[in-house]
Amino acid sequence: MDPVIVVGAGPVGLALALALAAQGVPSVVLDEGAGPDEPRTARTAVLRPDTAEFVERLGCVTAREAGAHWLAWRSMRRGQELRRLTFDEDLPSPLHVPQHVLTQGLRAAVAAHHLVQLVTQSHLDTIEQDADGITAHTRGPGATWWRGSHLVGCDGARSTVRKLLDIRFPGRTAVERHAVAALRAELPWPGEAVLHRLPPWRSGGAEVTARPLPDGVWRLDWLLPARAELVTPESLVARIRDTLAGWCGETPPYELIDTGVHTLHHRLARRWRVGRAFLAGDAAHLLGAVGTQGLDEGLRDAENLAWKLAQVWHHGGSELLLDSYQAERRTAVAAKLRAADQSLPVLRGGKGLRSYLPGTARGHDALLADGHLGRGALGALPVYAHSPLAPPYTDSQTPVATAAGAPVEDIVVTTPDGSAAGLRDRLGRGNLLVVLVAPGTGVWDRRHWLTAGVMPRLAAAVAALPVRGELLVTEAYPGASAHTVLLIRPDGHLVAAFTGVRPAELYEAADAARGGAPFLVRTTSTVDVN
């Protein structure tokens, strides 16, 4: 069968190719460039725990090795500390990593995988779709036609795929601008991220952020005024010296490694699917103001789309399954964009009445912390409560601490071979996960656990599902009573929880999660950039 064509070899495109490969689907990654990106320490990514786990499951070990988990998050206003949050199991730290290191790690994982073909110097100029597949033409040294089952545009903000599909990309330009510097220095808060609003020194501006990397390296971001202020080398050095002196009492020795200006836009593509072609990452959305993270959302796009394309590639799929990618992911990103746009006038609105209300400073601090720490409307994990793949509610379903459509908690489970593993370690393999909550299983003989209690009946129900399932057992799950059965999607979102073993209801929920019975997707269209 034809591979999936992935256009773009950034983190999202590479992650999508690896996620497909983990589920047995081959892909061709078309890279317009000539190879790895130039190292830029000032260009970093902040990965939430779920996306950091995702890239590590894909085989990218460099992110963890070269990234930094923060010890705490510190918020300041003028000369006052407003709060300090320590990261722990209840508040896990993000992973801060240079983006070129993340890309290199994903490229290394791609190079080691026989199901992924990476082709450099391949500039897309034509897409053609028919009833059986999609064809793409590239120009460059090896100009040729490529045939695939589907095509995914992960080719960034200026996406050629989006233009070829004639998809509008409305939104706001230059929502925020930041001057950025990566430097090595000793700051008063080793290992802690700092957000300082209205710092009292001359060139502090409205906001400066310091986020640590390994080996004493920091990324500093200064929020620039809305007017198009020119950032010269001299003005940036003055900002650095004033900021370090403001924090340390005097300017300490420092090594300037890299600098830049980062402009943030807010845009959302009108459509994320046209027949067999899809958009993901920056090709589909741009966000990043007030602490939100665009790369996080791009990686979630890849994880969401990969299992659906794998289902279609191996077993066929319905229009509903393919349409659910846009329904789930576009809705989730739109909600964050809306929350960020609503927050901007409050946080950046100048000296209005809100600035003088009691508690306003702490309220603003909490709002900004939500975006940076992955909480609240600005940063929380997506919940697909109204997904077209959600099964209808039945009396046999029971509430647990995880809402239907939300990502499940990582717990210890017993796998079919009797070994213990983390639940999230079983994700991304194309299987629905069926987890039985059975207190006392820790004393079972794991060689024979599939023959104990209700397990034979549940194993038969899992074997009869319309899609491949994996049966797991756990001692406990938050909010679940004994003999609760959880049905979980391959991307880790809860489909439903049932009271006891209910084969008919389990089958119906699994059928809903795959979008119903599969049938062929037939679409014919041709687009040409010339």
Q: What is the pLDDT of residues 348-400, one digit of tens each?
A: 765 443 443 444 555 778 888 888 888 888 999 999 999 999 999 999 999 99
What residues have CB less than 8 Å from 58, skipping those under 6 apart?
15, 18, 19, 22, 106, 109, 428
Hey, what are 329's tokens? 């992911």
pLDDT surpassing 80 at residue 141: yes
Residues 11 and 62: beta-carbon distance below 8 Å: no
Pairing of strands 432-437, 469-474: parallel
When pLDDT is cut at 50, 70 and 90, the band that residue 480 belongs to is very high
CA atoms within 13 A on the CB side of 86: 1
Q: Distance between the two ends of the chain, CA-based, in angstroms?
A: 29
- If you write DSSP's letter for every residue of 153-219 in order, what string do you get? E---TT-HHHHHTT----EEEEEEEEEEEEEE---SSTTEEEEEES-SSTT--SEEEEEE-STTEEE
When pLDDT is cut at 50, 70 and 90, the band that residue 418 belongs to is confident
Neighbours of 141 (CB within 10 A): 8
Neighbours of 476 (CB within 10 A): 15
pLDDT reported for residue 461:
96
Residues 28 and 120: beta-carbon distance below 8 Å: no
Hey, what are 240's tokens? 């650095």
- Alpha-carbon distance of 17 to 312, in angstroms, equals 15
- Alpha-carbon distance of 387 to 306, in angstroms, equals 17
Find the mean pLDDT for residues 131-158.
Answer: 94
CA atoms within 13 A on the CB side of 521: 23
> Residue length, the chain?
530
pLDDT reported for residue 367:
82
pLDDT reported for residue 231:
87
| Amino acid identity, position 402 | T
Q: Which value, in Å, is the radius of gyration of the alpha carbons in the chain? A: 24
pLDDT surpassing 70 at residue 446: no
pLDDT surpassing 70 at residue 483: yes
Pairing of strands 4-7, 151-153: parallel
**Which runs of E-coded beta strand occur in 454-524?**
469-474, 484-488, 494-499
* Chain centroid to CA 165: 24
Could you report the per-residue pLDDT of 258-311, keeping only the tens digit for each?
999 999 999 999 999 999 999 999 999 999 998 888 999 999 999 999 999 999
- Alpha-carbon distance of 186 to 7, in angstroms, equals 42
pLDDT reported for residue 355:
43
Beta bridge partners of 195: 75, 209
**b/e for 411-428, b at 16 or more Cβ within 10 A?**
bebbbeeeeeeebbebbb
What residues have CB less than 8 Å from 113, skipping those under 6 apart?
18, 21, 59
Find the mean pLDDT for residues 405-411.
Answer: 96
Hey, what are 379's tokens? 């940063």
pLDDT reported for residue 529:
44
pLDDT reported for residue 206:
87
Residues 489 and 495: beta-carbon distance below 8 Å: yes
Beta bridge partners of 292: none
**b/e for 367-404, b at 16 or more Cβ within 10 A?**
bbbbbbbbeeebbbbbbbeebbbbbeeeebbbebebeb
Among 25-34, 361-370, 479-488, the minimum mean pLDDT is found in 361-370
pLDDT reported for residue 518:
83
When pLDDT is cut at 50, 70 and 90, the band that residue 119 belongs to is very high
pLDDT surpassing 50 at residue 530: no
Residues 485 and 434: beta-carbon distance below 8 Å: yes
- Alpha-carbon distance of 225 to 205, in angstroms, equals 8
When pLDDT is cut at 50, 70 and 90, the band that residue 443 belongs to is low
pLDDT reported for residue 445:
65
**b/e for 198-234, b at 16 or more Cβ within 10 A?**
ebeeebbbebbbbbbbeeebbbbbbbbeeeeeebeee
Could you report the per-residue pLDDT of 202-242, keeping only the tens digit for each?
777 889 999 999 999 999 999 998 776 788 999 999 999 99
Percentage of residues of the chain with pLDDT beyond 70 = 93
Q: Closest Cα partner for 6 from 143, 157, 150?
A: 150
When pLDDT is cut at 50, 70 and 90, the band that residue 99 belongs to is very high
- Alpha-carbon distance of 528 to 530, in angstroms, equals 5
pLDDT reported for residue 260:
93
- Alpha-carbon distance of 467 to 423, in angstroms, equals 19
More confident residue, 443 or 293: 293
pLDDT surpassing 90 at residue 36: no
pLDDT reported for residue 356:
39
- Alpha-carbon distance of 293 to 302, in angstroms, equals 15
The average confidence (pLDDT) of the chain is 91
- Alpha-carbon distance of 395 to 393, in angstroms, equals 7
